[in-house]
Amino acid sequence: LESYFIAGTDTDVGKTFVTAGLALAIRKLGIDVGIMKPFAAGTRQKNGFKSEDVQILADAAQINDSEDLLNPQFFPIDASPFTASKNLNLGVDVNLVLTNFRKLTTMHEMMLVEGMGGIMTPILKNYFVTNLIKDMKLDVILITRTRIGTVNHTIMTCAMCKHFGISLRGIIINNIDDGYSEKTLQSDFNDLLDVPTLCTIPKIANRDLVTLSEYIEKKIDLKKLLF
């Protein structure tokens, strides 16, 4: 089964929400899907996993792997791994991330790995999310939003993937902003990119994951993506 790195054109585009929906939809196919958020940052949660993203993903995938495996490094400030580690005087351990990733791939039939920010988010000097994707040997599903500016971000992301030799399997448009209509954006992406748009996701009331997963099941040929 194929595993994927879920990247975004930016922070806050819906990587966690869409990845959780994908995980739940894949679960419903009877597939044991593992999740990982290699580096997480932000406000530390009081209950459960430190990172809210990790909590959401683990709940959706219905797994109870240890936090150390799912999220090897957590930085309690909102910043890239590079910036956070520098400001907190902590090391960044890419090898630990890769070791844990390999461990998780033996424990599950497939993996969904959520990125941090965009694909050029720095992890170390001269080591970006793109480098991590290469080291994990994963194909990418790209989440984009609909606000004006997204075409620029999406083209840049696709260009950097090409530059790094990363295979982009598809784009998911997260229709969460005023800006481009779904139709306009899909047609622009078709004209400008050589990456297919897998589907557009509407704003989901109450961020309900079951509704999202049902939507994904209807719109995306998951079997084609996974097998």
Ligand X SMILES: Nc1ncnc2c1ncn2[C@@H]1O[C@H](COP(=O)(O)OP(=O)(O)OP(=O)(O)O)[C@@H](O)[C@H]1O
Give the binding site for Mg ion (CB under 5 A). 15-16, 53
Q: Of these partners, ligand X, Mg ion, none, which one is at the site of residue 12 (CB under 5 to 8 Å by kind)?
A: ligand X
Q: Are 185 and 219 in contact (CB under 8 A)?
A: no
Q: Answer yes or no whether residue 102 interacts with ligand X by CB under 6 A.
A: no
Angle at the Cα of 202 (from 200 to 207), degrees rounded to 5? 130
Residue 214 and residue 113: Cα distance in Å, rounded? 21
Kindly tell me which of 48 and 107 has the beta carbon lying closer to ligand X.
Answer: 48
Indicate whether 219 belongs to the interface with ligand X (CB under 6 A): no
Q: Please name the helix (run of DSSP H) or strand (run of DSSP E) that holds residue 41, with its range, or none.
A: strand 39-41
Q: Does 122 bind ligand X (CB under 6 A)?
A: no
By DSSP bridging, strand 122-124 and strand 127-128 are antiparallel
The angle formed by the CA atoms of residues 132, 137 and 143, to the nearest 5 degrees, is: 70
Structure tokens at 221: 């040929």
Q: Does 103 bind ligand X (CB under 6 A)?
A: no
211 contacts ligand X (rule: CB under 6 A): no
Cα(20)–Cα(58) distance, integer angstroms: 8
134 contacts: CB under 8 Å, gap ≥ 6 = 164, 165, 166
Beta bridge partners of 7: 142
**CA–CA dist 76, 44 (Å, integer):** 6
CB of 30 to ligand X, least distance (A): 25
Residue 37 is among the residues annotated as catalytic for this protein: yes
168 binds ligand X (CB under 6 A): no
| Identified catalytic residue from 15, 28, 37, 103 | 37
Choose among Mg ion, ligand X, none what residue 209 binds, the Cβ cut-off being 5 to 8 Å by kind.
Answer: none
Q: Which is nearest to 24 in space by CA: 227, 224, 215?
A: 215
Which structure tokens are listed for 199?
A: 């589907």
Task: Decide if residue 153 touches ligand X (CB under 6 A).
Answer: no
Among 92, 171, 199, 201, the residue binding ligand X under the rule CB under 6 A is 201
Smallest separation, CB 106 to ligand X (Å) = 26
Residue 207 contact partner, candidates ligand X, Mg ion, none, CB within 5 to 8 A by sort of partner: ligand X
Among ligand X, Mg ion, none, partner that 11 touches (CB below 5 to 8 angstroms by kind): ligand X
Nearer to Mg ion, 55 or 193 (CB): 55
Residues of this chain that interact with ligand X (CB under 6 A) are: 8, 11-17, 53, 117, 174, 176, 201, 203-204, 207
Residue numbers annotated as active site: 37
